[in-house]
């Protein structure tokens, strides 16, 4: 009897502890990082807008394409609310983690820009 009760309580906790996206949220998201200006100490440098594509895979890995630069790594669901999922991604060629919010209602993704980059908005591609 104790064994059955322990299984009933353990199984829900195992499903909660999974830190990857549900299958319906995995896939390709496409958008752009808007143009911005930054100061390098001596002059102001203008950075053009660039396309960005993020692919979340079911195994917890992520593929990034920003302009012509590709990178990959792993992602982790930090927490979930009724309206969005906060995602953190660790890329191999980047020291700072990427932070993103996946809005559940319309399945769009907002990527927090790493200073001085502005936020980028991406939409899920139909597959």
Check: CB of residue 100 under 8 Å from CB of residue 89: yes
The alpha helices in the chain, defined as continuous H runs, are 2-16
Give the integer Cα–Cα distance in Å for 112 and 55: 16
Give the per-residue pLDDT at 5. Answer: 44
Give the per-residue pLDDT at 116. Answer: 84
Give the per-residue pLDDT at 2. Answer: 54
56 forms beta bridges with 27, 62
Give the per-residue pLDDT at 115. Answer: 83
How many residues would you count in the chain? 127
Tens of pLDDT along 113-126?
Answer: 888 889 999 999 98
Give the per-residue pLDDT at 14. Answer: 44
Query: Yes or no: is domain 21-124 CATH 2.40.50?
Result: no
- Which residues of the chain have a pLDDT value below 50? 5, 11-17
Tens of pLDDT along 45-60?
Answer: 999 999 999 999 999 9
Give the per-residue pLDDT at 18. Answer: 58
Nearest CA among 63, 55, 94, 60 for reference residue 75? 60
Helix (H) or strand (E) holding 39: strand 36-39
Nearest CA among 10, 65, 3, 2 for reference residue 33? 65
């Amino acid at each position: 009897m104790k064994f059955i009760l322990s299984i009933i309580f353990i199984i829900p906790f195992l499903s909660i502890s999974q830190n990857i996206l549900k299958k319906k949220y995995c896939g390709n998201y496409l958008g752009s990082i808007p143009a911005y200006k930054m100061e390098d100490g001596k002059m102001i440098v203008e950075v053009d807008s660039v396309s960005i594509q993020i692919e979340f895979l079911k195994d917890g890995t992520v593929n990034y394409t920003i302009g012509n630069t590709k990178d990959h790594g792993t992602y982790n669901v930090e927490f979930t609310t009724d309206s969005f999922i906060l995602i953190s991604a660790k890329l191999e060629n980047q020291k700072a983690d990427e932070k993103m919010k996946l809005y559940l209602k319309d399945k769009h993704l907002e990527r927090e820009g790493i200073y001085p980059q502005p936020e980028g908005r991406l939409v899920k591609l139909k597959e």
